[in-house]
Amino acid sequence: MAVRDILHVGNPLLREISREVTREELASPQMQQLIDDLIDTMHAANGAGIAAPQVGELVRIATVEVNQNPRYPYKPPIPLTIVVNPIIEAIDDEQFQNMEGCLSVPNMRGRVTRWVNVRLRYWDRHGVEHDEVRRGLAASTFQHECDHLDGQLFLDKVDDPRSLTTWEMFERFHKESFFEEMRQFVARVGS
Ligand code: ZN
């Protein structure tokens, strides 16, 4: 078990495109250790997810887990999910605006447009193939993590820079209305 240092925006590694992992590599102790480290680092930082490039490893692996997350209390639970070589694509035109944060962008949140319904294909940590439909806030969490594997940060997708806010100012000025917006959204799409 190891909690790794998280790279912050400005580190060029966060802008690199990560490479795919082979099944042989995935089965190696080194890659399994990296996955354990990602889980530990995500938990230690109260993240809803983390991608390998955020700890400086340029491979297409990310972890997601939401369980009464103090950073995102409005997010419905997502069981711990390890995605290896994920492919994510919208399955229709429906979009929504999320207010995202990122462990690599300290103390900043902003509004990002995301797909509501996505098809997510990936291997789990054992190399088993999965093909799933994810919706709503869960879909947006996976979109955020998959963006990291292509060197993209949520900052790149903020539609209006005036939506950017520190976490303290979010609490003070935006939290109430955004939480209500998300309550209605979750009630509508179910996740
Ligand atoms: Zn992030």
Give pTM, 2 decimals: 0.96
| Residue 106 three-state SS | strand
Say what the pLDDT of residue 145 is: 98
Residue 6 lies in a domain: no
Given a cut of 80, is residue 1 above it in pLDDT?
A: no
Say what the pLDDT of residue 68 is: 81
Say what the pLDDT of residue 128 is: 98
Annotated catalytic, 145? Answer: yes
50, burial (CB in 10 Å: exposed 0-12, middle 13-18, buried 19+): buried
Residue 159 alpha carbon to ligand 1 centre in Å: 17
Given a cut of 90, is residue 73 above it in pLDDT?
A: no
CA distance 164 to 167: 10
Backbone angles phi, psi at 38, to 5 degrees: -60, -45
Alpha helices by DSSP H, 29-156:
29-44, 136-149
pLDDT tens profile 26-45: 999 999 999 999 999 999 99
Domain that holds residue 120: 12-189
CA distances from 87 to 2, 27, 60, 121, 177 (A): 28, 20, 10, 5, 33
Residue 29 lies in a domain: yes
Residue 17 lies in a domain: yes
Residue 79 alpha carbon to ligand 1 centre in Å: 18
Residue 1 lies in a domain: no
Residue 101 alpha carbon to ligand 1 centre in Å: 7
Residue 168 alpha carbon to ligand 1 centre in Å: 19
Can you read off the two tokens belonging to residue 132? 């799933």
* C-beta separation of 1 from 38 below 8 A: no
Which is the catalytic residue, given 57, 65, 145, 171? 145
The CATH number of whichever domain residue 28 belongs to comes to 3.90.45.10
Residue 59 lies in a domain: yes
| Structure confidence at residue 71 as a pLDDT band (50, 70, 90) | confident
Given a cut of 90, is residue 69 above it in pLDDT?
A: no
Residue 125 lies in a domain: yes
Residue 152 lies in a domain: yes
Residue 98 lies in a domain: yes
**How many domains is the chain built from?**
1
